Amino acid sequence: MNPDHQSLIDLANEARKRAYVPYSNYRVGAALRTKSGRLFTGVNVENAAYPTTMCAERVAVFKAVSEGEKDFEVIAVVTDNGGSPCGGCRQVLAEFGLDTIVLIANGEGKLVTQTTVSGLLPEAFTPKHLENR
């Protein structure tokens, strides 16, 4: 495995410890590296009003965008069982590039799947679909 990828998985796994999950107890951590080399982490944050819960992947993306970063290279997502990003997170990631590498790992830090956003969301609806409308 690429050592840079493993360090990103380790960062996501460490972030996962800070998840706020009093309802599901399903901790998710994400670590996003931009093409400029900056790192952003995210954790899932649950809420008693379930629809307002936020996923770790989107937290990392929103942190990056709020800091002026929109070109992503790779994101690592870690859960106990190597669960895959939800549809909403796939769509948010697609907004910023279908070629972003996605590393999905389990709680032991072992890579379960490596793909791209395009691989997770084939035929994604992207900003190009809104051109010349």
Q: Which CATH architecture has domain 3-130?
A: 3-Layer(aba) Sandwich (3.40)
Annotation says 57 is catalytic: yes
From 14, 57, 67, 69, the catalytic residue: 57
Hey, which bits of the chain come out as E strands?
Answer: 29-34, 39-43, 72-78, 101-105, 111-116
pLDDT at 1: 74
Q: Mean pLDDT throughout 14-37? A: 98
Q: What is the pTM of this model?
A: 0.95
The pLDDT tens digits of the residues spanning 79-118 come to: 999 999 999 999 999 999 999 999 999 999 999 999 999 9
Q: Which of 117, 93, 105 is nearest to 9 (CA)?
A: 105
Residue 39 CA to residue 78 CA, distance in Å, equals 16
Q: What is the pLDDT of residues 44-93, one digit of tens each?
A: 999 999 999 999 999 999 999 999 999 999 999 999 999 999 999 999 99
